[in-house]
Amino acid sequence: MSNSERIEALIAQMTVEEKVGQLGIFADALRPFAPEVNPEANARGAAEVRAGIRAGKIGALFNGVGAAEGRQAQRLAVEESRLGIPLLLGADVIHGMRTVFPIPLGEAASFEPELARRTARATAVEATAAGIHWTFAPAVDVARDQRWGRGAEGAGEDVLLGCAFARARVQGFQGQAGLTADDCLLATPKHFAAYGAVAGGLEYNTVDISEQTLRDVHLPPFKAAFDAGAITVMSAFNDINGVPASANRWLMTDLLRGAWQFPGLVVSDYTADMELIAHGYAADERDATRCAFTAGLDLSMQSGFYDRNLASLVASGEVTLAQLDASVRRVLWVKQQIGLFDNPYRSLDPAREADPSHLAAHEALARDAARRSIVLLKNQGAVLPLKKTGQKIALVGPFARDTKNIEGCWTLFGDRTRYVTLEAGVRAALGEHAQLIVEDGCGLEEPIDGGIEAAVAAAHASDVVVLAIGEPQSYSGEAQSRTQIVVPPAHQALAEALAATGKPLVVLLRNGRALALHGAVRKAAAIVVTWYLGSQTGHGVADVLFGDYNPAGCLPVSFPQDSGQQPLFYNRSRTGRPELPHMREFKSRWREVTADALYPFGHGLSYTTFEYGPAQLSTTQLGWDQTLTATTTVTNTGEVAGETVVQLYVHDRVASRVRPVRELKGFNKIALRPGESAQVSFQLDRSLLAFTGMDLVCRAEPGLFDVWITDSSANGTPVQFELCPPKG
């Protein structure tokens, strides 16, 4: 029997109740569960879940962990339910499992999708060893407003970078050995769609957006994830232009399954079908079930709405049997794709779970990922790197010895016993002759008695102060929108007191978003963005602090002058009255601050310097069907080896819709020894110049374009070419 015949044979035998059973996913009460990641809803105890599996009324569980317990649950489904359909076991495994890697936003700062592929692969190896088939990741939401807390889970404000990381993460989770491989972790790009565009950066808020922006900015990372092989997707909580994403037929049926030919399943976000009632889009749970299901939402997470209402909707004819079968077919197809029918106990091997042989390699990868994610924003007077000897160091701040703000948001299963604190990393780098004083200075959010005095005394007794401050990790992630994207006042007060000592100040920021930096923090000699770097935080930061690794990360989000500039992103549309340096009246400006970023997208320093030669184009007349090569020469003009992210930006001078001031169209991280030069080339064709027009068709328009090859979204001198109209 072919796979599809097998699925059809099953569907033919299933009762309506059994079919509905395949369309619900519930919290895994049979295994150790990661608590408090979601509000409680429709809670079911172990006995109820067990009975549901036996009755063929539960087809998937989520957020439980453990291979042995997973085997037992699977045995119930396979051996004790009438049709023996295996369970699909999902979980939020976002940026690491036992070994925790940097938050996805931090990792995007590496501008190395290959790094993300490798960390996702390691994550998949650990997660599938722990009895998980399916991760609710990657988050591919483009986040242009830093007030929103979930930017931490994605790849930042840019579309091209977002697509590259979406692709890499799907490839990493799923691996290259095929979906049936024991260590393939099925990926779920989320949250479909435009979740990152919530008004005001306010979590779960409405999204009122042009279809052009939706298509040009928010949808491409999903398409990239599907093209890379993702066969599941999670619907978003928000509405889009008045229709909740989780009941949006245009999105899930017309676009996803129609235009994009997506063959896989759509799972709701947690209780998103239930929330249609709160949205005022559905009258009651029966109505919500009908709206969500008929719009194309296959799998309902946790609400129990499908469980309670779908059969009666089928009985009344409001949902057809054909519609029900189509969703069941997609769910069974996904189960078949990952080999569950042939091998229901795949990824449920306690021996593999207990085997520690990959840990050392994963730890080394976590350390490398940590240091590659770090961004050096500022380094006045080359205060960094620090010397390991002959320099007394005061390591100050609430994150200096902290163990609870290392992993970042959405880390459910991290092995906390292996986390390396900042202090441990710095001590390991300095060795036994360390001249190091460590002081907290303040608490996570509050001053502590005598904290500032002790920190100031430590500063006076030292040659340099390293200050570890920023956002507690609870400030980013789900439902963590902020109005003031600044460091907590207690941290700011500590920074001011330390600056007043006159000692050189190195600020190590911990953050899940771009921050507005003020006062002593902004004025510090050196500023280092360290996000939440995961298990190897201390070692990764120490590698950069002491120059054992030369930083090369670049910002995937623009750091504003002030919170009130949000949403601030580099690829904004041109206005009719752009602000000019010496002319501010009647211009697009704020009274208090300039309209630009303090540190723009793409910015990141190194311990060496690079010189970028002028961009050279293979032609200034690009034929409609031709490809242009843009080349520059980059030279390491400093004294140490280093890496730089060469960035290609384009701007369409005149178009039928107002175009962004610049758009990233390529990037390439290269390594150069001191004095070494390299030529870097990018190919440009009209597909990279296309945008969605007023008629909703995506196409390039002939005319003049500016091109930059440079090291940040605010640098460089453009050269021009013309895209010639098609011949004839």
Separation between Cα atoms, residue 378 and residue 505, nearest integer Å: 11
- 145 binding ligand BGC? (CB under 6 A): no
Give strand pairing partners of 474: none
CB of 303 to ligand BGC, least distance (A): 12
User: Does the active-site annotation cover 269?
Assistant: yes
Total binding residues for ligand BGC by CB under 6 A? Answer: 8
3-class secondary-structure state, position 482: coil
Judge contact between 240 and 234, C-beta under 8 A: no
Question: Which of 397, 477 has the CB closer to ligand BGC?
Answer: 477
Q: What are phi and psi of 458, to 5 degrees?
A: -65, -40
Question: Which of 149, 642 has the CB closer to ligand BGC?
Answer: 149
Point out the catalytic residue in the list 145, 158, 269, 287: 269
- 569 binding ligand BGC? (CB under 6 A): no
Query: How big is the CA angle at 141 (ends 135 and 144), to the nearest 5 degrees?
Result: 155
Give strand pairing partners of 467: 396, 507
CA 30 to chain centre: 30
E-assigned strand segments in 458-579? 464-470, 505-510, 526-529
CB of 663 to ligand BGC, least distance (A): 28
- 270 binding ligand BGC? (CB under 6 A): yes
Tokens of 280: 């005022």
Q: Which residues inside 447-486 make contact with ligand BGC, applying CB under 6 A? A: 478
- 37 binding ligand BGC? (CB under 6 A): yes
Buried/exposed 214-243: b ≥16 CB within 10 Å, e otherwise: bbbbbbbbbbbbbebbbbbbbbbbbbbeeb
Separation between Cα atoms, residue 193 and residue 219, nearest integer Å: 7
CB of 270 to ligand BGC, least distance (A): 4
CB of 135 to ligand BGC, least distance (A): 9
Question: Which of 87, 515 has the CB closer to ligand BGC?
Answer: 87
Tokens of 500: 């007043």
- 655 binding ligand BGC? (CB under 6 A): no
3-class secondary-structure state, position 92: coil
Question: Which of 19, 190 has the CB closer to ligand BGC?
Answer: 190
Four-point Cα dihedral 271, 272, 273, 275, nearest 10:
90
Question: Which of 34, 217 has the CB closer to ligand BGC?
Answer: 34
- Strand pairing category for 616-617 and 621-622: unpaired
CB of 92 to ligand BGC, least distance (A): 5
CB of 238 to ligand BGC, least distance (A): 11
CB of 38 to ligand BGC, least distance (A): 5
Judge contact between 445 and 490, C-beta under 8 A: yes
- Strand pairing category for 691-692 and 698-699: antiparallel
- 269 binding ligand BGC? (CB under 6 A): yes
Judge contact between 113 and 167, C-beta under 8 A: yes
Give strand pairing partners of 705: 652, 721
First vs last C-alpha separation in the chain: 54
CB of 645 to ligand BGC, least distance (A): 29
Tokens of 121: 């692969």
Judge contact between 233 and 266, C-beta under 8 A: yes
- 38 binding ligand BGC? (CB under 6 A): yes
Separation between Cα atoms, residue 644 and residue 670, nearest integer Å: 6
- 92 binding ligand BGC? (CB under 6 A): yes
- 298 binding ligand BGC? (CB under 6 A): no
Q: Evaluate the omega torsion of the peptide bond into residue 504 and state whether it is cis, within 30 degrees of 0.
A: no
Give the count of alpha carbons within 13 A of 246, CB side only.
Answer: 30
- 136 binding ligand BGC? (CB under 6 A): yes
CA distance to 92, 196, 230, 284, 445, per residue, from 223 (Å): 21, 16, 9, 33, 40
Per DSSP, helices labelled H in 296-379 are 305-316, 321-337, 350-354, 359-373
CB of 234 to ligand BGC, least distance (A): 6
3-class secondary-structure state, position 72: helix
- Name the DSSP class of 445: S
Judge contact between 374 and 533, C-beta under 8 A: yes
Separation between Cα atoms, residue 66 and residue 588, nearest integer Å: 56
CB of 130 to ligand BGC, least distance (A): 16
- 190 binding ligand BGC? (CB under 6 A): yes
State the maximum Cα–Cα separation within the chain, in Å, rounded to a whole number.
Answer: 82
**Phi/psi-derived region of residue 174, left when phi > 0, alpha when psi is between -120 and 50, beta in every other case:** alpha
CB of 415 to ligand BGC, least distance (A): 20
Question: Which of 149, 296 has the CB closer to ligand BGC?
Answer: 149
Question: Which of 35, 725 has the CB closer to ligand BGC?
Answer: 35
CB of 715 to ligand BGC, least distance (A): 36
Question: Which of 299, 605 has the CB closer to ligand BGC?
Answer: 299
Q: Which residues inside 249-268 make contact with ligand BGC, applying CB under 6 A? A: none
Judge contact between 201 and 481, C-beta under 8 A: yes
Residues near 12 by beta carbon (within 8 Å), at least 6 away in sequence:
none
Residues near 568 by beta carbon (within 8 Å), at least 6 away in sequence:
146, 558, 560, 597
CB of 481 to ligand BGC, least distance (A): 14
Judge contact between 319 and 313, C-beta under 8 A: yes
Separation between Cα atoms, residue 314 and residue 311, nearest integer Å: 5
Separation between Cα atoms, residue 567 and residue 583, nearest integer Å: 23
Active centre residues (catalytic):
269
Instruction: Catalog residues that contact ligand BGC under the rule CB under 6 A.
Output: 37-38, 92, 136, 190, 269-270, 478
